[in-house]
Amino acid sequence: MSIRPADSTSNPPPGSTSEATSEATSEATSEATSEATSEATSEATSEVSSEVSSEVSSEVSSEVSSEVSSEVSSEVSSEVSSNPTPNLDIREWIRIGTLEEIDKNGPMVVKGIVVFQHEGSLYAVENRCPHMGFPLHLGSVCDGVLTCHWHHARFDVCSGGTLDPWADDVPAHAIAVQNGIVYANPRPKQPKNLDWHLHRLREGLEQNLSLIIAKSVVALVNAGVAPARIAEVGIDFGTSERSAGWGPGLTILAANLNVIAKLDTYGQILALVQGLVHVARDSAGRPKRHMLQPLPATEFGTPRLQEWYRRSVEVRDIDGAERVLLTVLGGDASDADVADMMIVAVTDHFYLDGGHTLDFHNKAFEALAAIRPELRPQVLSSLIPGLGNPTRSEELQNWQTPVDLVSPLFAAFRELENQLGRISPATLASGTSDSPTDRNASSIDGSASSIEGSASIMPSQTSPLLTDRQTRTDAEKIVDVLLGDDPGVIVETLTALLTSGVDPVHLSGLVALAAAKRIVHFHTQNDFGDWIAVLHTFTNAHAVHERLKQSQNPLATRAIYHVAMRIYRDRFLNIPSAALPKSDAADRAGYSTDLRQLLALTDKQQQVAEAATWVAHYIDTGQPMGPLWNTLGHLLLREDAEFHSFQMLEAAIKEHEDWEKSTRSIAKDAMRTLVLAATRYLAAHAPTARELPQVARIAWRLARGEKLFAE
């Protein structure tokens, strides 16, 4: 029987002359072998002859063992970074065996490469199914298709290309036959370099293949690619492919990227995989997004365009808003101009879409730091579809009755205008004839008594803060007011603080702290679904805090009032109030400060109080925060967490970072509150089936060369 390499014209062994190689690949008969030998240069002949020596075998063995076999963790790095087509000497090829041996024994495996004889040709592929590592020599070849027997992935035995994209292509290797001996090139025909992995990641996103995404992330991280570069692939994909625009998946990805420096390497992989898989899921089965074009060259400047944008958002004209936004981005507007324009438009109404609209805006702006500047229009305009029909909380019955929370805010905004003198009457949200919100609020005429049956919330008592000049900076008292049960006092206090010069950024940080306290005191007797209510308030408060750091427009401060009213509305979720954990309780329970104990605790459901007690003990005994954040990250990322949990951890970490810089006496309590809030929320939502983390773990173990099929 005549056997030949399947790719006799490709990948000649560089150690031989091309002529010798050509001849060698046509051999199999002793005559052809003889010709090849005689036509080779003496140098090539010498190389081939010496190649069979034990010395060379040893060299090949050592090389191959580092490239093909089990040390895949280092292999991935070397594959990505090394030249994929070096002038490899024939002596470095892998000696598989003789033609007779292959003919007699069937598939032969040497150094991680399997050689099949099929339909008179020889084929070599990596002996490891790219799906989950099953040995391919145990598979079968029929009609040119190699089938893995674990999950039945099919591969073109010649190229290694798969017919089942979820499995990935298997690396194929060139074959050479000389003197009746079969050699395989240890380097695959199609090396998996950096571009290949980035492309494969994009394909995984397009086809919503979580294992492909995970494998790509593992390979890229192992190769030293920056997390931001990896995340950019997902941000680019999600903002260009998803017709609904920026959504939860992109928010998870951006949030995870914000805190990725807190995580160890495996945690970073989990964070990227979780974010990217959620981006893929959000886009799966949805139509592609088609961006509009900016307006043709217009002579109108940024202020006019900003007004057009705001009016477009007001009337839910998303096409108009997108064209104007793209025009602004292409003009001479500063980054601050763009940010203010967009934030003002989404604070014209109260607490849009349960706070998600502002959350999404915040995360999109934060993501800009991680991506190429040319993606900026694509990313920011992806927010526009979400403005098509968001819930405007001032229109909701429960914002109007039994206590009218709407009219006092409009009154407060008018007062802000009067006191600050910085808010243009033409753009003030309420109380002016041409403001968008005023038109929308026609059913709410601005007077506290306009809504039948609603009680006035104007202060029934004077805010304690307003009677004490020294308390303007008393953070603890401000937080107390925010957690109080008198919305009139809350509104009056906010206005007094803002009009007397308190920094809105500082004030919004206190609002976020108050919202975190709602989570710390959320009692588990509440309906489980109510965790989301206090979560929404906190993450929105965090978004407000972050956006105000970037904004100079007084209109943006309206968001402080919106979220403050949410904190007020959540007050019954703290009745009864969960008690703060005490450190000595941990001592009594035998808790240590070994962070694995925290992970073990949260392997059981509803360990909210236990986990909080454990963490309080850890904090109060002065243990370092870095390992704790990393562990809380794993506590989150090892679960099939839903989007709010990712928001929770990120917001807690970022707010905590701000307090770390503070010398205020409240800072210590604030940091403790934020850690406990995150712990309680995450513990309440664990454990889950852990399906997605298992996918990431499979990819991680495959990259380390572990044999999943053997367990």
Tell me whether residue 215 or residue 506 sits nearer to ligand FES (CB atom). Answer: 215
Beta bridge partners, 162, equal: 155
Q: Which is nearer to ligand FES, 134 or 413 (CB)?
A: 134
Q: Which is nearer to ligand FES, 155 or 399 (CB)?
A: 155
Region from 128-136, 294-302, 446-454, 574-582 binding ligand FES, contact rule CB under 6 A: 128-136
Binding residues for ligand FES, total number by CB under 6 A: 10
Residue 78 CA neighbour count, 13 Å, CB half: 14
* Binding pattern for the stretch 571-590 against ligand FES, x by CB under 6 A and - elsewhere: --------------------
Q: Which is nearer to ligand FES, 170 or 364 (CB)?
A: 170
CB of 132 or CB of 475, closer to ligand FES: 132
Of the two residues 164 and 486, which places its CB atom closer to ligand FES in the complex?
164
Cβ closest to ligand FES, residue 130 vs residue 377? 130
Q: Which residues pair with 98 in a beta bridge?
A: 181
Q: Please report whether residue 129 would count as binding ligand FES according to CB under 6 A.
A: yes
- We find the least distance from the C-beta atom of residue 584 to ligand FES, in angstroms, to be 52
420-455 exposure pattern, b = at least 16 Cβ within 10 A, e = fewer: eeebeeebbbbbbeebbbbebbeebebebeebeebe
Among the candidate windows 64-72, 127-135, 311-319, 657-665, which touches ligand FES by CB under 6 A? 127-135
Q: Residues 81-120 vs ligand FES: string with x where CB under 6 A? A: ----------------------------------------
Shortest Cβ 598–ligand FES spacing (Å): 35
Under rule CB under 6 A, which residues in 145-184 are in contact with ligand FES?
148, 150-153, 167
Complex with ligand FES: residue 8 or 147, whichever CB lies closer:
147
Contact 556, 340 (CB under 8 A): yes
Residue 10 token pair: 């490709």
Residue 17 C-beta: closest distance to ligand FES, Å: 39
Q: Which of 134, 351, 618, 643 binds ligand FES (CB under 6 A)?
A: 134
Separation in Å, CA 559 to CA 227, 433, 537, 566: 32, 22, 12, 11
Secondary structure class of 461 (helix, strand, coil): coil
Type of residue at 277: V
Contacts of residue 574, defined as CB under 8 A and 6 or more positions apart, other chains included, come to: 483, 518, 521, 522, 523
The identity of residue 626, as a single letter, is G
Of 128 and 187, the one with the shorter C-beta distance to ligand FES is 128
Q: In whole angstroms, how large is the CA radius of gyration of the chain? A: 32
Pick out residues in 638-657 that bind ligand FES (CB under 6 A).
Answer: none
Least spacing, CB of residue 647 vs ligand FES, in Å: 35
- Candidate ranges 124-132, 252-260, 382-390, 537-545; the one touching ligand FES (CB under 6 A): 124-132
Pinpoint the alpha helices (H) of 421-524.
436-440, 475-482, 487-499, 504-520
Sign of the CA dihedral running 524, 525, 528, 530: negative
Q: For residues 118 and 85, what is the distance between their CA atoms, to the nearest angstrom?
A: 27
DSSP string of 11-76? S--TTS-HHHHHHHHH--SHHHHHHHHHHS-HHHHHHHHHHTSHHHHHHHHHHHHHHTSS-HHHHH
HSE-CB of 430 using CA atoms within 13 angstroms = 25
How far CA 516 is from CA of 165, 512, 610, 648, 671, in Å, comes to 45, 6, 19, 10, 10
State the minimum distance, in angstroms, from the CB of residue 333 to ligand FES: 52
User: Which range in 131-139, 229-237, 416-424, 588-596 contacts ligand FES by CB under 6 A?
Assistant: 131-139
For ligand FES, the closer CB: 139 or 633: 139
Among 131, 349, 569, 672, binds ligand FES (CB under 6 A): 131
Contacts with ligand FES by CB under 6 A lie at 129, 131-132, 134, 148, 150-153, 167
